[in-house]
Amino acid sequence: MNSDSETTQYFKREDSSNPQRVEDRVAAIICTRGRPSLDDLMRSICECHAVPQIVIVVDASANQTPGDLSIEQFDNELLKIIRIGATPGLPHQRNIGIEFVLESLEYRHCDILAFLDDDVEVSPNYFENLISCFDSAKNVICLGSVDVQHKEQRQSPLALRLALVSSVVDGKLLMSGFATLPPSNTHLSETEWVPGFAVSFRRSILENNRFDSRIAFYGEDLEFQLRIGHLGKIAVSNRLRVTHRQSPLSRDSTRDHWGYSDGFRWSMAERFPKRVKKFAVIWSTLALMTFEMVRYIQSKGRRPPLELLGHCDFLLRLVSSAEVQKLRSQPRRDVR
């Protein structure tokens, strides 16, 4: 996407017999750090029966000047893409996309903002179904999607349930800060949270609320949904189907992943003490450490104890009064 010639591939339709139309109520926001999988997402959008009025790519890749909000615009027939350079941080990047839509009179009719991770691909009828789902449930403010690669899980083992890591209830936020996956087999199901790889909100909610830009990564979607949960319903629909590739690029190591994930759960206990309990965060962390220690012993040292070390990192940060969450260095400015 660094030149017009590279960008034109996004607009080539394989089947010209199935014409597109524009869903002028939808603005799509994609936050990226320049992963190659973005190409596949853009192609899938272009092959949709209906496309958003605007696709905003908030790009924090290395070739973008930090803080540079210069806008490149590409128009081709129905699909319009705007790229905005930004500094890294998923919630921060999402807020930039929100501000752009809300401040542009051209997109004042976009009453649905759809956030798509750069490693997903949408189904051909994704955006028309998105509008249909929101219209069918006026009290829904947040709507999640279903990953077609997700397989229904069997009943969680008793040990994990006792450790407060899992539950037999779908879409449940546990007191330990862990959350189970929402149901994926119904047209529209109310749930306590939805994953952020493909999630949409009503514009009216985002006019007075933003993602916490202090957070660099880990749990920003769940934190935001808990803050706005009193304003309406959160739901998931199996009509909103995506393929989530879960690209490993730009992700932390296994050790850091678990250390910062534990830290996020602890921060949830501090922010939402009625929903997440500190003792449950510690209990679940110690239980996971025990499980990992057993696995390490059973492997006779052949399996690196990276998850175990991650949990230890969290506890060491906690007892030393260090910051346990992965935060951006920029001050908190756009949380509402």
Mean pLDDT by 10 residues, the chain (336 residues): 35 51 91 84 90 92 61 59 89 95 94 96 96 96 92 76 94 96 90 96 97 88 96 97 78 90 96 97 97 91 89 97 86 49
Which residues have CB under 8 Å from 322's CB, separation 6+? 316
Count of structural domains within the chain:
2
177 and 307 in a single domain? The answer is no
- CA dihedral sign, ordered 151, 143, 127, 212: negative
Domain span including residue 32: 8-152+170-244
198 and 136 in a single domain? The answer is yes
Q: How far is CA 225 from CA 89, 140, 209, in A?
A: 18, 12, 10
| Domain annotation covers residue 329 | no
Q: What is the pLDDT of residue 301?
A: 76
| Domain annotation covers residue 202 | yes
- Write out the two tokens for 77: 């027939």
| Domain annotation covers residue 116 | yes
In angstroms, rounded to a whole number, what is the distance separating the alpha carbons of residues 68 and 120? 26
Q: How far is CA 132 from CA 24, 25, 328, in A?
A: 13, 11, 37
Q: What is the pLDDT of residue 252?
A: 79
pLDDT digits (tens, 9 = 90+) for 225-250: 999 999 999 999 999 999 998 765 55
Q: What is the pLDDT of residue 72?
A: 53
107 and 125 in a single domain? The answer is yes
What is the widest separation between alpha-carbon atoms in the chain? 64
| Domain annotation covers residue 220 | yes
44 and 116 in a single domain? The answer is yes
Which residues have CB under 8 Å from 227's CB, separation 6+? 209
| Domain annotation covers residue 306 | yes
| Domain annotation covers residue 164 | no
204 and 310 in a single domain? The answer is no
| Domain annotation covers residue 160 | no
| Domain annotation covers residue 49 | yes
231 and 291 in a single domain? The answer is no
| CATH number of the CATH domain containing 77 | 3.90.550.10
297 and 188 in a single domain? The answer is no
76 and 187 in a single domain? The answer is yes
In angstroms, rounded to a whole number, what is the distance separating the alpha carbons of residues 320 and 311? 14
17 and 52 in a single domain? The answer is yes
Q: Which of 184, 212, 244 is the last residue of a domain?
A: 244
Angle at the Cα of 214 (from 166 to 52), degrees rounded to 5?
Answer: 80
211 and 110 in a single domain? The answer is yes
Q: What is the pLDDT of residue 3?
A: 33
Taking the model in full, what pTM does it have? 0.88
- Write out the two tokens for 211: 């993602």
35 and 129 in a single domain? The answer is yes
Q: What is the pLDDT of residue 179?
A: 95
114 and 28 in a single domain? The answer is yes
